[in-house]
Amino acid sequence: MEALSQEGSFGFALQAEKGSFAQPDTWLPLVSLDAPNQHRGESLQLRKDYKMLDSADANDYESRYYLGAEWVEGQVALPFIPGALARVFSWIQDRDGNNQCKWASVLVDCIHTVKKLADVKVRKATIDLMKGEPVRCVLDLAAGGMQIAPTPLPNIPLAAPYIFREATAHIAKDGGPLTTDEACGRFRLVMDNAVDARLSNLAGVRCRGWFSRAFVDDAIYADFASGQEAALSITLARGEARAVISLPRLLYTASDLGLPGSHEKRIVEKVDFVALGSLDGLMPPVTLC
């Protein structure tokens, strides 16, 4: 992953209601997306679905049309910075009485242009934690339209981003309590917001993911083989700032534990999991505190 970009920024604010643009109150720098040959930190694009009319008027050409739909979709890649995480998580998974998540207003300063969007929802959030790298989140966004706006004055936080090297992982094994596990090298969490084509949330957050771990014991594989539920938390630290990402209920769905084929390589297991909400339906599968 590249160092944080000094050009390009992303600002958003949660809206009180749909249809009312709110000036962004949270700003973050953009980092590069992972796509091949993709060095930008965003890929938001305006799309138009034009319908061609084929009339029986002796005209062989497509000459008449109407606009069937217009929408925006794409991704932004952001670092996790102290002081901004709570608002990002709130946008992703807070729900109202109708089980709908919050609308947001967005400004994306792409240096050469500024994209302005209202009524934006997060379709999916992918959080990557990798040793030695800044903690990064890629948001898949969708909105009904986009405008070009004047250059904003972004208030980028001065705090350095969380780095996974300074994080601590805790895993519950064999039905016991959370304990520190220093063998984990990478985590990926994918939070699906169940957003349909009309930007309605059809369900609460669905979370899947995986982590890689040096094979220091068979505790994880034993829980996978026996169907034992587990738990996971990751404590992020940067100076005095702290944030804890918690997954209180995990069910391991796959493990590719195997010999590496060479005595010069470590045995590393990759474990897939699904994160579950509480049995009473009150707690989401991922929480931040």
Quote the CA–CA distance of 37 and 126 in Å, as a whole number.
19
- Residue 22 pLDDT class (50, 70, 90 cuts): very high
Mean pLDDT over each residue of the chain, to the nearest integer: 89
Please check the confidence at residue 1 and state whether its pLDDT lies above 90: no
Structure tokens at 40: 């930008």
Quote the CA–CA distance of 151 and 9 in Å, as a whole number.
11
Please check the confidence at residue 273 and state whether its pLDDT lies above 90: yes
Quote the CA–CA distance of 91 and 201 in Å, as a whole number.
13
Domain map (residue ranges) of the chain: 9-288
CB atoms under 10 Å from CB of 201, counted, come to 20
Residue 188's nearest CA partner among 2, 13, 14, 34 is 34
H helices of 204-260, where? 219-226
How much is the pTM? 0.89
CB atoms under 10 Å from CB of 22, counted, come to 16
Compute the average pLDDT of residues 236-264.
85
Please check the confidence at residue 271 and state whether its pLDDT lies above 90: yes
Residue 99's nearest CA partner among 198, 193, 221, 2 is 193
